[in-house]
Structure 1
Amino acid sequence: MKIFGHRGYALRYPENTLVSFQAAVDAGADGIETDVHLTRDGVLVLTHDEEISRVSSGHGLCKDMTYEELLALDFGSWKDPRFTGERIPTLDQLLDLLEDTSLILNLEVKMGFPYYPGIEEKLLEKIRARNFLSRIIFSSFNHYSVAKIKALEPAALVAPLYMEALYEPYHYAETFGAGAIHPQAGLVEKSIVDACHEKNIAVNLWTVNRTEDALKAQDLGVDAIITDCPLELITALRS
């Protein structure tokens, strides 16, 4: 079972920053999960919320701000003063960090409110240009968005995110060619995992932070867990 760092190493570092991503790499994570938005001037940036006040020194919507405006803000001190000066990363910066590793990158496309016209095309253009397609999982709560990515690039691995029980999610995933499902932890049982695997559909759970939940996921045969505390779970499960 693979262990992915949720927003990097979000338990101990300011989420979705380069220091958090590097910490997940250093912890030995198999992959990194992050969230991608589009700025007003078309730059792909990584942060979770559409509105940035929770994790930065500013406020406003990503879609209404230029990259330079976002870059002027502090994205680290909210977590701890020692992270003062951490900036919002671009997708390119994270790809640079991962380029010489074998880590998988799970990109959650933020496509609820607000709406980012053309973000799927822009993401695919970037990922193809950087030769990262085989290492990317595109996920989203907006299933139209991941279905669009799959239609635009049949080789893309896409996964619907969901937080309520789906009836026979393996059949649902097949309707648009999803190669994985990303349910909230607790929404699957072994029969679902087994049925997914029979159809070559991976099951990746979020967000698993307790050792007992990670062990349960492992017993179910889950393919990966997404966690805020990669080092702690790697140590507990692989020691």
Structure 2
Amino acid sequence: MTSALRPQVVAHRGASHENAEHTLGAYVAALDHGAEGLECDVRLTADGHLVCVHDSTLRRTASTRGRVSTMDLAELAELDFATWKNPWADLDDEAPDRDEESDGVLTLRKLLETVADYDRRVEVAIETKHPTRYGGLVEKRLVEMLREFGWDTAGSPVRIMSFSFTALQRVDRLAPEVQLVQLLDRGSTWPMLRRVIGRDWIVGPGIKLLREQPSIAGSISRSGRDIHVWTVNNDEDLQRCIDLGVKAVITDRPDHIVDLLDRRDRDAK
């Protein structure tokens, strides 16, 4: 449990500072480090599966041409999504052998099953990526999956995030009890968004925005909405979030942020 002054630590694409993002290995590492939440991006494959991939193309994380939306899950399962993070592993005699389960493409279903089976409550922040050729089908499939897990009701460990207000509206219609997070990367959009987003929606500004425009946090708080911030990786930014009353920090380095918060709690005793 997090205290009123201690933000929830959410692992951004897993423990992605040291591990290949969005792999099962990155998420297991994050849980081992004490992360209280996991963040992932989801995209829809050509045959209708939700997979945890940030980019629309595969060039960066799988070193191959092609787009997630034009490939079947079976085709993606043949790709290596981890080597890009450590391209010299073949030269390291002590490097572990490749584990296809932990470094291949990760389906959202597998991630949710991992969370459901874990020995403590873990929350999941799922970002739907837009624009996409499949439009609202992404949110439809996502809500259908949440229903399978019984996680489309109040108290669910899952929240849905997006920069797209329209996408979040879709989720709100399909599963009105699921917590929603309106992501924010430009302060100029906030005056409009504050008038249209739900009163109980969370707002998720980027840490860069808070650095450049700290007053926006006060404006969000005065609107009665909680704040979740991405991507918080160092001491200074963490302290900034604590001072602003942020409820959750999304980080590539969950081990480091958990350690900083633990030390802060010990020093406060």
Q: Scaled by the length of structure 1, what TM-score is found?
A: 0.91
Give 2:105's aligned amino acid. I
| Maintained 8 Å contact 1:31/1:104 | yes
| Maintained 8 Å contact 1:36/1:91 | yes
| Maintained 8 Å contact 2:235/2:260 | yes
| Maintained 8 Å contact 2:30/2:255 | yes
SS in 1 for 2:11: strand
Q: How does 1:218-229 map to 2 (within 5 A)?
A: 218-229=242-253
Paired position in structure 2 for 1:120: 139
Question: Which is worse superposed, 72-81 or 109-118?
Answer: 109-118
- Any idea what the Cα deviations from partners look like across 1:49-79, whole Å, max 9, x if unmatched? 0101101143211110000000000111111
Structure 2: runs of 5 or more not aligned = 1-6, 90-94, 264-269
SS in 2 for 1:5: strand
Cα displacement (A) at 1:237 = 2.1
Question: Does residue 1:96 correspond to 2:118, yes or no?
Answer: no
Structure 1: runs of 5 or more not aligned = none
Question: Does residue 1:107 correspond to 2:131, yes or no?
Answer: no
Paired position in structure 2 for 1:4: 10
Distance between the aligned counterparts of 2:236 and 2:195, measured in 1? Answer: 31
Q: How does 1:1-239 map to 2 (within 5 A)?
A: 1-80=7-86, 81=89, 82=95, 84=98, 85=100, 86-99=103-116, 100=118, 101-133=120-152, 134-166=156-188, 168=190, 172-173=193-194, 175-177=196-198, 179-188=201-210, 192-194=216-218, 196-197=220-221, 199-239=223-263
- Any idea what the Cα deviations from partners look like across 1:100-131, whole Å, max 9, x if unmatched? 33111010101224444411111001011112
Cα displacement (A) at 1:176 = 3.3
SS in 2 for 1:213: helix
Cα displacement (A) at 1:136 = 1.3
Give 1:151's aligned amino acid. R
Distance between the aligned counterparts of 2:161 and 2:190, measured in 1? Answer: 19
Identity %: 31
Give 2:186's aligned amino acid. E
| Maintained 8 Å contact 1:182/1:205 | yes
| Maintained 8 Å contact 1:63/1:116 | no
Distance between the aligned counterparts of 2:220 and 2:72, measured in 1? Answer: 41
With over 3 angstroms needed to count, the CA separation of the structure-2 counterparts of 1:62 and 1:168, relative to structure 1, is closer
Larger radius of gyration: 2
Distance between the aligned counterparts of 1:53 and 1:187, measured in 2? Answer: 28
Give 1:72's aligned amino acid. E
